Structure 1
Amino acid sequence: MPKRHAVVAGAGIGGLTAGIALHRRGWRVTVCERAAEPPATGAGIGLAPNALRALDAIGVDAARAAGSAVPTTMGVRRSGGQWLTRTGTADMAARYGMPPIAVPRTALTAALAAALPPEALRYGTAVTAVDDTGGGPVVRTEAGADLPADLVVAADGIHSPLRQACFPTHPGLHYLGEIAWRAIVDAPDLLVPAMSETWGRGERFGVTPLSDGRYYLYATALVPAGTRSADPRAELRRRFGSWHDPIPALLDRIERLDRADILQNDLYDLAAPLPSLHHGRIAWLGDAAHAMAPNLGQGGCQAIEDAVVLAHLLPVGDVGAGGGSGGGGDTGGSGPGADPIPDALAAYTAARRDRTDMVRVRARRVGRLGALRNPLAAAARDLAVRATPARLALRGMDDLFNGFRLPG
């Protein structure tokens, strides 16, 4: 029986999840990735309950596949060490049915890649353009091979060339005013049980326990776009070396890393929502669709939600099986034999655009709060956060952690 073919541009977390979800819907999938091979280094990623539910919907157990760590508590601290807010993960598990977990990003992408047929992944194959003017999209690649498809999933990242080509009047990216440093260090002797983010004045430092005694560390500072330190290890020591324990000890471990193992990136989000998350037979997801600040830990989580909802709404891959959507009916709405894909993509935009833009806007606001530089404003912020009862702070996450739904 012939199968519908989806080409996915990008083998990040969103693209790989889309590939798995479509493969398990019976589609033939080709995932094209610009990089010559899977990444050997990288940062960590937190998977909140909404992302874990989405992965579970396509049969992926992230904790079993990629390893995980569950911190005892999560919260925000001041640079002197005082907790502004703190929540036990047991309380989160009781409220949301499961706790958030933290995994190395490379381990997660490797586990997702392993869930695809080997022939589905094409590294060293950059998608350069999509010709969607004929009966179906044709994907152009840097290698020169054209890939006819029934659907193109644009998971090509924050600078998405496909987004720029199809939405040329969109304002594009917005610089958030901060640089981020990220690294993973080995420190099994430190035994830090809490996932925390510490707020200073215009600077932040995050600590996330991973499996096997490792820690994902990140830091941010308000600087002009393009600012880079010649030695990020020394820069981090200069900025954060006097902050509370265990930050100085973790900085000692950072100094043992090669400079290349410390990622430095300007932080951007999308300046405005896209008018639509699809165009013709191209669907955008993840950073390509709604790049957001990392402040809520939802960038990867929303990409996973996108991928699972998209596959759910599309028809099954076996062409002879009919035009039914994931919701159990013909999404074409034009009678027997109608092409169901266009209406499925319209339903995807309707299901995802408002939710992802809400998260994008909220993440930007939280970032502005955490990056306050004025001492009076920062003191007022800290007082307000400390005065908020933990149960109310946790309730404020309901729309994020309980917000994943498969359209019926």
Structure 2
Amino acid sequence: MTEIGRRMALAGAAGLLAAPAVARAQGPGVKIGLVAVLTGPQAALGTQTRDGFLQGLKHLDGRLGGLPAEVLVIDDELRPEVAVTKVRAAIERDKVDFVVGVVFSNILGAIIRPVTESNTILISTNAGPSTIAGRGCHPLFFAASYNNDQVHAVMGQAAQDAGYRRVFLLTPNYQAGRDAMAGFKSRFKGEVVDEVYIPLTQLDFSAELARIAAARPDALFTFMPGGLGVNLVRQYRQAGLANIPFLSTFTVDEATLPAQQDAALGFYSASTWAPNLDNPRNRRFVADFEASHGYVPASYAAHAYDAAALLDSAIRKVGGKLSDKDGLRAAIKAAEFDSVRGRFRFGANQFPVQDFWLCQVAKRPDGKFQTEAVRRVLENDVDPYAAECRMR
């Protein structure tokens, strides 16, 4: 599924949607450009995004706001220039009504201008860089996930609560990595013994692990998504460093745990959501997702699932009038849907106001691995850049 314009055969893939020809014959429909990385070592994250959104459509009987829905899956290949080319084609040639998805902040940073300049609404299901949450906020952009800093701030607060005095920081050298550092330090008041940035393509951590061992910190904080996290966790355990508490974000989660398995047991993460959150919406989502796809959903899938429900509520509220952009924007901002996260609303910058959880990796009785919510760390949290947004 790496070519833009290749429509998901949703009726054949888990029976999610009627074939496009049938949908069009029934009347006006809605077309979604779903952006996700489906190539390379980070493809597991994009697969979660895609499958979560499609699961949401399955629960809505293949319709959004009562309109037949069609999805164009766009593989951004984790290459900004590729993402821009494919997204522009989706808007100009394929006439998508909304662009949804995006895992990595560098991809979001590349596509937000061409999307919004075309007067198309963009909903991010994962990436939430500070540059867009603050002064770069835009009326046509919504984050169904979080501001990047917030999740990392959870770990800073958790480290502070645990009484750690000296922490080693390790992240990739791109916007989300820098946001991770800032987010952690916004809540942690102890000593940062070292700050190390690595290339986004790095898979060998032997040099960094030697520095951690030499520094002998009270804990490690790291943000290593996808394949980066798989390798770091394995090598961390193999290096005999598991006695140093492993505090992370997007490093041990349901997208990486199938590859990490026992190497990640007991390691910590932070999230807006976990599979064991006990509310009816989440129980149905997790059970049906696993039945459909055969693996445990991660936050990438949960946020994308919520995005489908969010769009459904908004399109329904405007009576299916997709040309009413002001009405659609107001309806999306109202966020009148049941989230798998429980409490959810948008703030002034159109980023969520929500709870954040400290989670820990566990092994289930069926042998599968998942993160489980340990305690709520931040409640109804407003991201730190909201006050900088001058959107009216």
Q: TM-score, normalised by structure 2?
A: 0.32
Higher relative contact order (CA 8 A, sep 6+): 1
